[in-house]
Structure formats: structure tokens, C-alpha cells
Amino acid sequence: MSVEYMATKFQYTAVIRTNKVDDILLRVVAALREQSVPPEEILFVDSSGSEDVHASLSKIGRAVKYQGPLNFSRAVNLGVSEVGTGLTLMISSHTVPSTPRLIEDGWDEAQKVGARIIYWSPPSPDAPNPRRIDIVDRYSYNGRNGLSNSFGMFETAEAVAFPFREDVFASEDQEWAKRYLERHPDAKIVGVISPDILYLNPGYGDSAAGIAKYVQAEVAHLLFTARRSAIAPQIAGRIARSMLALSRGRISRARAHVEIVARYLWLSWKGSSA
């Protein structure tokens, strides 16, 4: 890859959807500005409906107002429509790239295989290799490893031409990646798995809000991104996991697994009979 290509093409805008200014958001912004290749601009999609919040966001970046009930795909599409660089970095208001070369190193890995999409993700707690590079294509895509709007980069023009689907109520990033790989059969996606990525969402985990988000994402995965051949085994696995969680006294987790299966079956039936 030529130096000229690197100099002209690796320019990006960071897009963050938020409804408040707090210490975590300020930490995200500081970490982005400390990157070896920082964003040309930090753009906030402001869903707060508050003039005070909008004014505060405008002091630390450029803010655009999101109107109406929150739809994550619509918020992403609004942000992308305002981007003036060739690349867009979607990043959560709770995701901190804690080392300064994280984005540049991810870009370098993508150039090695000609990938135009990169995502960064912390490893799962039981990951045998917590620091690795995943190369994903249409054969290895599994509905979960295509893109992450919590921390992902893609070509702006691609997302303008093929917006995120507003009817996809969760996992809209993975659904978009699935369609991308269908449009570009030879394309690759690079995943950077690293403990240097900090996800600091206080509503994540076993809280009521965290479990609700988990259920929503898993139902969307089954409906929109999972391979058809994997759906039946995943449903069986959910039932087994609900029984295991129940035996361990994790009532909320057991209920969540049952709810995922029930909602998926209901929405599938509703869609097929419409």
C-alpha cells in the first residue's frame, strides 16, 4: 500500500450517538483525540432533546439533532449523512480505545487483506486468545462477527448508498454487514479483538436494562443475521441454557433464554402469516 494512498485515504470522522455529556463520554472523546491517527471530526448525533445538552456537545465536537423516537439505524444513518470524510468510525459513547495506536493498527491490518470494514471488540471473558485479529468473509460470517457500531469503521459512501435498515430493531450493524458481504462476495472484514478496548456501559450485564438489551439483540440475531442452518441448534441451546441457569438459581437469565425463543417464534410466525 503506497504512502500516498495511506495519506489520502485514512481520514475518518468519528460518529457518536448520545443523549448526555458525562465523564465516560469525555473519556471516549479524549481517547479518540489521543489516537496516533485521530478523527478529522467528532460528530455527535444528539438524541437528548435538550438545548443544554446540545450546547455542551457542541463545545467538544459538532452536534446534529436527532428528532423523534429513538431508532438506532435512523440515528446511524443521520450521522453518516453528515460525514465529510471517506471513512466513518461509529463508536459508542461508552467505548474507550485505551491505547493510542489501536485505530491505526486496525487500519494497517485491514490493508494487509484489502478489507474495507474494521471492527474492534473486547474479548469474551473465557476467550483462550484475548488478543487476536479475525479475518471474516461470507463463509466465516456467523451473524455476530461482521461489524460493531460500538466500535467499527466502514466506507461512508457504502453506508450512504446502502443505509442501515430501520426495521431491524437490534443488531442493525450485523445485518448491514451481512448485506455488505452479499453485495461484495470477495470482501473481507477485519476484527480486532483486544483487552485494550474498554466497554464502560453502566447499564450492561445482569441488570434489568442489560438483560432487556441482551434479549432484544439475540432475538434480532435469530431473525436477521443467523444462518438458517444454525437457528434450530441455537433454539435448542437456549432451552438447555435456561434449564442450566434455573438449576443455578439465575432466574432472570433463565427467563431471558425462554423469552428469546418465545419472541423469535412469535415474530417468525407473525411475519410468515402477514
CA–CA separation, 116 and 87 (whole Å): 9
Q: What is this structure's pTM?
A: 0.89
CA–CA separation, 143 and 166 (whole Å): 18
Q: To 10 degrees, the CA torsion angle through 122, 125, 126, 132?
A: 20
CA–CA separation, 180 and 108 (whole Å): 21
Interaxial angle between packed helices 251-273 and 208-220, expressed in degrees from 0 to 180 and rounded to the nearest 10: 30
Which cell goes with 199?
466497554
pLDDT band at 127 (very low <50, low <70, confident <90, very high): confident
- For residues 80 and 156, the answer to whether their CB atoms sit within 8 Å is yes
Judged against a pLDDT cut of 80, whether residue 202 lies above it is answered with no
pLDDT band at 204 (very low <50, low <70, confident <90, very high): low
Q: Tens digit of pLDDT for each residue in 53-92? A: 999 999 999 999 999 999 999 999 999 999 999 999 999 9
CA angle at 92 for the pair 91 and 97, rounded to the nearest 5°: 65
Mean pLDDT calculated for residue range 124-153: 94
- For residues 119 and 189, the answer to whether their CB atoms sit within 8 Å is yes
Give which of 16, 36, 197, 175 is closest to 105, Cα–Cα.
36
Higher-confidence position of 56 and 127: 56
**CATH class, 3-199 region:** alpha beta
Helix, strand, coil distribution of the chain in percent, nearest 5: 45, 20, 35
Judged against a pLDDT cut of 50, whether residue 171 lies above it is answered with yes
Mean pLDDT calculated for residue range 102-130: 94
Instruction: Please give the C-alpha separations between residue 145 and each of 132, 140, 149, 168, in angstroms, as whole numbers.
Output: 13, 9, 12, 17
Mean pLDDT calculated for residue range 154-183: 97
CA–CA separation, 151 and 119 (whole Å): 6
pLDDT band at 128 (very low <50, low <70, confident <90, very high): confident
Judged against a pLDDT cut of 70, whether residue 3 lies above it is answered with no
pLDDT band at 2 (very low <50, low <70, confident <90, very high): very low
User: For residue 9, what pLDDT is reported?
Assistant: 55
CA–CA separation, 121 and 114 (whole Å): 20
Mean pLDDT calculated for residue range 6-27: 88
Computed over every residue of the chain, the mean pLDDT equals 93
